[in-house]
Structure 1
Amino acid sequence: MNITIIGTGYVGLVSGACFADIGNSVLCVDKNEKKIEQLKAGKIPFYEPSLPEIVSRNVHEGRLVFSINTHEGLKHAKIVFICVDTPPAPSGEADMRSYNAVLKAIGEFLQQYPSSQFLLVNKSTVPVGTAEYASAQLCSFRAGGVEVVSCPEFLREGTAVSDFLNPERIVIGTAENSDFISGTVEVLLKLFEPFDCPKILVSRATAEIIKYAANAFLATKISFINEIANVCERVGADVNDVAYAIGLDSRIGAQFLRAGIGYGGSCFPKDVRALSQIAGKSGYDFKLLKSVIEVNSGQRSMIIQKKRDILGDLKGKTIAILGLAFKHNTDDIRESPAIEIIITLLEEGAFVRAFDYQAAENAGRVLRHEYFEIVKDVKEVFAGADLVFIATEWPQFAELDWRDLRSQVRQAIIVDGRNILNKKKMTDLGWQYYGVGC
């Protein structure tokens, strides 16, 4: 099947490469000429495991092509996926400028080529009502417009390729009472036939809110276990044991029950705020989500205060930071707790030395300070440190030779912001260990 992907960020590039890998002819379009040139040269603009191999294989076999020409993409396609970013605006709502620019380009194409036929699918995370709005807008360019479907993505950075190829569900939102419905569903079910998972057919508005609801619920689990961690610290309990025990309950599940410094990234913060705004615009005050946001922000403040309690005045102290990405297996630093915490440490006069397996280059672009340094070797980060702070849950950090590293630091103090180390083991090795809720 001929597919066009508009937008080559995490969602667009992964979707395009994986659709090609299962036998489709895919044209990926992006207005960023530099990015398209990089992709044509075989360079992936971000870190995502397994993606370079899939892109390379499908480019070589002719199933995956890149272009800056939107009209070329629309001529190519039977199905067009919109996968552009919808970052948060200052109000917390989704910034729809890139999305609206794509709609305008599609509308102009329909005017120029009125006989063209394709199915338009929203994969970008967009506010409820966007598909209906898009349909109306395109009808103003050509009578009848095109059929607009909502098909939200559920990819996780770091496992996006596996998530795409092994989905747990596929949500298809179509217009209610539309003459197009039967044909639309038939085309999409054929496209998704290789994926052995439930295909859930709903209205467009329902599909749009499903994505927000999923991410908001996961963010709520994170904030909940962090609140439990804060109680555990005060009563002498261990949140890791609490999380393990309640996670064995099938009604709860173990995922997203690791206490720490809170969630970050390009999805959870944006989607939680956006859903809160959507609720507010509908006349409903979503108090729970406001608390989720407040708790998440509070975890950063809590960890800074913990460092003050341990070291006193942070001015002149050397802090070693392990991890810069918002989570492991990615180079994404968007809304990373590590970055926020480093900025506060620098404001308080600390010297900060940091290491990350993938995010160093991205962090170096946004963190420029005379007291801040990023090192290339993880062992270098420990030299003369007054405190070591684990900010990202890279599993390699747990495998370091902590006995040997003790001799590299000025003070053998570790604050484990992700609870990836064993407290007893670290204490036996001579470290003062401080976790979150344990």
Structure 2
Amino acid sequence: MSVANIVVIGAGVVGTATGRGFRRHDHKVTFVDTDAAARHRAAELGFLAVEPEALDLMDVNAVFVTVSAPAGERGVDLTHLLDASRALGTALAHTTPDTFTVVVYRSTVPPGTTRKLVTVLEAASNGKAGVDFGVAYCPEYLRAGTAYEDFINPPLVSVGVVGGDELTGEIVCDLHRPFGRAVQFLGVEEAEFQKYVHNLFNAVKISFFNEMRGIASCLEIDDSDEVFRITAITAEGMWNPCYGIADLGPYGGAGLPNDAEAWLKEMERMGVRSALVEAARAVNVRLGGR
């Protein structure tokens, strides 16, 4: 694809990085946002930014949906995604038959969400995904402080295409090809699940070292940062990215089960809680380990 016409729904951190990244390769990018301040920030960066009522998908190749999906009282709050999908469906209803627009969702959502959003698009547009328009889920791996740099230099691009239609896959691949990274196709639910695995692993790792830092203080260990730096070199789980991900059942051997049990007993004796190690051992026992 030479020059694409792209719409980005949501002018927050992810959306702005997405728009800037595609503009870097000379694509035309328009932002849509309900928030006037967000539209103003996009305009200051040189983008056309409009309200949802002004959304026009005529001759648009792809729409990247980057609105938030925050935690709600009963799970993920899909309000913004549902609103965006209704607006997109209405706009799709006004495109000509020769326009095939691909809707790409990027928000972090539970598996099965994208297919629910497809029903909203189809109802509002009176069209069919994979026939009249395409739908894909493409998780983002952006850090807040370096979102643009991460977008233009991704580790890889993961994509799940609803219905597996080839044209949608080709358009998504063409748009990401200039960034020089492999495109990994997954099932839609697998792609949604992978983003949660990605985020939650980072959360657990950070929490583990925070827990160890607190325990180091209880043990009067002065330089825990140096300990962690060395651990990044010695622990296979740190330097081997494939360590622990194979389906080999619970951890075993002589070392890990014994050391986890001994550590927890010692912490109990000292009156110190080691919650993540407790949780790791509980999972191992549930899987048949010790």
Render the CA deviation track for 1:83-122: whole Å, top value 9, x for unaligned: 111122134x221111100111122223344634200100
5+ unaligned residues in a row in structure 2: which ranges? Answer: 240-274, 280-290
Question: What is the Cα deviation at residue 21 of structure 1?
Answer: 1.4
2:90 to 108, 111, 119: 108
Q: What is the DSSP-based 3-state SS (H/G/I as helix, E as strand, rest coil) of the residue aligned with 1:8?
A: coil
Aligned to 1:151: 138
SS of the equivalent of 1:23 reads: coil
For residues 161 and 34 of structure 1, the distance between their equivalents in structure 2, rounded to whole angstroms, comes to 20
> Quick check: 1:71–1:109 contact (8 Å CA) kept in 2?
no
Once residues 113 and 166 of structure 1 are traced to their aligned partners in structure 2, the CA distance between those partners, rounded to angstroms, is 33
What does residue 50 of structure 2 align with? 67
The TM-score with structure 2 as length reference comes to 0.74
Counterpart in the other structure of 1:247: 232
Indicate the residue corresponding to 1:161 in structure 2.
148
The residue that corresponds to 1:11 in the other structure is 14
Distance 1:79 1:71 in 2: 17
Deviations 1:272-296 (A, max 9, x none): xxxxxxxxxxxxxxxxxxx66xx9x
* Secondary structure at 2:238 match in 1: coil
Amino acid aligned to 2:228: A
Q: Is the 8 A contact 1:2 1:78 kept in 2?
A: yes
CA shift, 1:70, in A, is 5.1
Partner of 1:234: 218
Q: Which one-letter code corresponds to 2:5 in the other structure? A: N
- For these two proteins, the number of residue pairs brought into alignment is 234
Q: Which runs of 5+ in 1 are unaligned?
A: 43-54, 255-290, 296-438
Would the aligned equivalents of 2:135 and 2:161 in 1 still touch at CA under 8 Å? yes
What stretches of structure 1 move > 4 A for 4+ residues in a row?
none
1:152 partner SS: coil
Three-state SS of the structure 2 residue aligned to 1:101 is: helix
Equivalents in 1 of 2:92, 2:123: separation in Å?
10
- SS of the aligned residue for 2:18 comes to helix
Residues 162-196 of structure 1: CA distance to partner in whole angstroms, max 9, x if unpaired?
Answer: 111111111111135x4x2x212211111111112
Aligned to 2:29: 26
CA RMSD of aligned residues (A): 2.3
Determine which of 222, 225, 229 is the counterpart of 2:206: 222
Of the three residues 171, 180, 192, the one matched with 2:158 is: 171
Separation in 2, partners of 1:140, 1:220: 39
User: What's 1:134 paired with?
Assistant: 117
Identify if the C-alpha distance between structure 1 residues 221 and 233 changes in structure 2 by more than 3 Å, giving closer, same or farther: same
Report 1:11-410 matches (<5 A): 11-40=14-43, 42=44, 55=45, 59=46, 64-69=47-52, 71-91=54-74, 93-113=75-95, 115=97, 116-141=99-124, 142-145=126-129, 146-176=133-163, 178=164, 180=165, 182-237=166-221, 238-249=223-234, 251-253=236-238
